[in-house]
Amino acid sequence: MSSPGTSPATQSSNVNLNNVSLQAYDGPLDLLLSLIKKNKINIYDIPIASITDQYLNTIGLDEDMLSTSLLSFNLDSSGDFIVMAAQLIYIKSLMLLPSYYDKEKNMTGDEDIDPRTELANMLIEYQKVKEVASFLDNRPILGRDVFEINIFRTDKPSEPEQEKSKEILFEANIFILSEYFYYKMTEAKKRINTYEVAKERFSIKDKIIEIMEKFNIAERIIFSGLMKEAASKDELFTYFLALLEMSRLILINLDQMRPFGEIYISPVAGGVLNYKPKIINIM
């Protein structure tokens, strides 16, 4: 029991994730994939309520705790699992609101949008990445298993080879964006030494508008530059959720030059002029 003067946020700040259980998984997608395989679930038809409950139980949280005081948790420790928990609860809430589909249909003219689709695509992509990683791990590694001998090359690189150094952008996605965000959250620990649990000052809609207005000045912005503008973890987290929502609404393109490299954000064609009707219902 809590004392009368103790707020829910203060109570939850002392609650830790079940780190012993989480050590068995490479990340939140790995945990979700494990639960799906364990329950023999069709990845395209995930029973979101059941899987959310199992996920929260595994990491040692409950829905009330997460929804009332998310920002009081230490996001530097297992923050990626907390982010996924919030996403699962968000999808679960959408599944309980039939009007959500009607609004989306009226807005886009498309058929009903299943809020689980994006999660299913992320899980499938992650599963492919795991399979590729396993395959590559069993291959000989240059510098460890095999070695390169290049004693005959004395000429300078040709022009075509020099052209390779020019900027080439490859399409990224929200999975890559999420991985990069967790990396930046770790970096932020060096800049932000203290974090106060306070009333939320930022909204996802405001951050979407802020990001879209930046495109009036620049054709694209870099993810790390956007993160540096955040004065707190609250603001960092809101920026991230805003980018996820913008990607879902197809308002932005995400690109990068190389794996684990900087992520570039740019508006889709006509996005700057036509985005406001799409974010009317966003809080």
Question: Exposed, middle or buried: residue 107 (CB in 10 Å: 0-12, 13-18, 19+)?
Answer: middle
Q: How confident is the model at residue 8 (pLDDT cuts 50, 70, 90)?
A: very low
Q: What are phi and psi of 38, to 5 degrees?
A: -60, -40
Backbone angles phi and psi of 263, in degrees to 5? -100, 130
Alpha-carbon distances of 179 from 29, 57, 126, rounded to whole Å: 11, 23, 12
- Unique residue bearing structure tokens 């900027």: 167
Banded pLDDT at 122 (limits 50, 70, 90): confident
Res 135: pLDDT: 60
Phi, psi for residue 209 in degrees, rounded to 5: -60, -45
What secondary structure does DSSP assign to 215-239, as a single string?
TTT-S-EEHHHHHHT-SSHHHHHHH
Cα–Cα distance, 114 to 269 (Å, whole number): 25
In sequence order, what are the beta bridge partners of 30?
A: none
pLDDT over 70 at 185, yes or no: no
Q: What pLDDT, in 10s, does the model give residues 186-219?
A: 655 555 444 444 445 778 889 999 999 998 898 8
**Cα of 163 vs its chain's centroid, Å:** 33
pLDDT band for 245, please (50, 70, 90 cuts).
Answer: confident
pTM for this prediction: 0.42
Q: Helix %, strand %, coil % for the chain, to 5?
A: 55, 5, 40
Residue type, 233: K
Burial 239-269 (b: 16+ CB within 10 A, else e): bbbbbbbbbebebbbbbbeeeeeebbbebee
**All domains in the chain, ordered by first residue:** 8-108 (no CATH), 161-279 (1.10.10.580)
- Kindly report each contact of residues 60-63 with a partner whose C-beta sits within 8 Å and lies 24 or more positions away, as own/partner: 60/15, 60/16, 60/17, 60/18, 60/21, 61/15, 61/17, 61/85, 63/89
pLDDT value of residue 35: 92
Q: pLDDT (tens digit, 9 = 90+) per residue, 44-86? A: 889 999 998 998 888 877 766 655 545 455 555 567 888 888 8
Say what percent of the chain tops pLDDT 70. Answer: 55
Is residue 14 within 8 Å of residue 58, measured between CB atoms?
A: no
